[in-house]
Amino acid sequence: MINLDTKIFPTWCPGCGDFGIWAALKAAIHQLNLETHQFVMVYDIGCNGNMGSSIKAYGLHGLHGRAIPAATGIKLANHTQKVIVIGGDGGLLGEGMTHFISACRANMDITVILHNNQVYGLTTGQSSPTSMKGSKGKATPFGVTETPVEPCAFALLSGASFVARSFAGSIPESTKIIASAINHEGFSLVEMLQPCVTFNKLNSYDWFRQRVKHLSQTPTDVYEAITKARWTDQEIFTGIFRNDESAISYHETFQILKTKTLIQHSEKRDLTKYIHDWVE
Ligand code: SF4
């Protein structure tokens, strides 16, 4: 079993939901017996992305909203790697929304763990694309007027082949779901319900515990999956909404990648010749 622990402990606020996700992710990697050379982490900007210094693994800390394109590049360069994205509702559904849709549509074989705390935590509490209507923040003192984006329903409509949700307050269930998502071949989304104890006083652990219900069975069709994935005032389901193992991943559509990776294809190319040409 690899040691994923660093000497740096995360600097999240005490009680932050990120701790639960961090623990579940590490447990899932152990459960899958992944070795360090078999996966790459890509972190977006946000409190979630600060996980980058607290997991001993190969990784890249990208620009805000751009973790998915970076992960896509890594996957296409070496498709033998598992690629795991850590991002938040702000980065992935605000600045990075089109990248999110594109990855779902392409069935890009990456795992996106979306920390949904319904607020921009790192910049001290502005409303985000998933903030609830009427919720008040520093930039919205009279309450949010827009309809919140629902990442699971959105991913299902956009063609994602694995879509799930878990609650940061339940590490065993989150471990199981994250492990299934990483194992899935194709695009996988895990929306993590992540209380931000400092800047989101509305969607607290207790608020979620009153609403979270475990989905007993994965829906058989996408429309039923969307219905179950939608939040209501009374209940928010956790579990796997869709797991289509027959969907073809984007990289599998390229004949050239059937025999070796893109990196292996380009190994014999003398790049210095091209650099020389450019300089000339
Ligand atoms: Fe966690 Fe919120 Fe603190 Fe950020 S601001 S570390 S999301 S509790």
Q: How far apart are CA 130 and CA 116, in angstroms?
A: 8
Residue nearest (by alpha carbon) to ligand 1 atom 3: 13
Question: What are the residue ranges of helices labelled H in 120-189?
Answer: 151-157, 171-183
Q: What pLDDT is recorded for position 280? A: 47
What confidence tens digit (pLDDT) does each residue in 174-232 have? 999 999 999 999 999 999 999 999 999 999 999 999 999 999 999 999 999 999 999 99
Looking at the predicted structure, is the pLDDT value of residue 277 above 60? no
Average pLDDT of the residues in 116-138: 95
The rounded mean pLDDT for the chain is 94
- The average pLDDT across 237-242 equals 98
Centre of ligand 1 from the C-alpha of residue 199, in Å: 7
| C-alpha 151, offset from chain centre | 10
CB neighbour list of residue 56: distance below 8 Å, 6 or more residues apart:
2, 3, 4, 5, 6, 36
Residue 269: the pLDDT is 66
For residue 121, the CA-to-ligand 1 centroid distance in Å is: 5
Atom of ligand 1 nearest to the CA of 11: 6
Nearest CA to ligand 1 atom 5: 121
Q: What is the pLDDT of residue 56?
A: 95
* Phi/psi at 84 (5° precision): -120, 125
Taking CA atoms only, the protein residue closest to ligand 1 atom 1 is 16
DSSP string of 32-68, one letter each residue: TT--GGGEEEEE-SSTGGGGGGGS-S-EEE--TT-HH
Place of tokens 């065993």: 172
What's the pLDDT band for 15 if we cut at 50, 70, 90? very high
pTM (2 d.p.): 0.95
Pocket of ligand 1 (CB under 6 A): 12-13, 16, 18, 47, 117, 121, 196-199
pLDDT, tens digit (0-9, with 9 covering 90-100), for 103-114: 999 999 999 999
Tell whether the model's pLDDT for residue 272 goes beyond 90: no
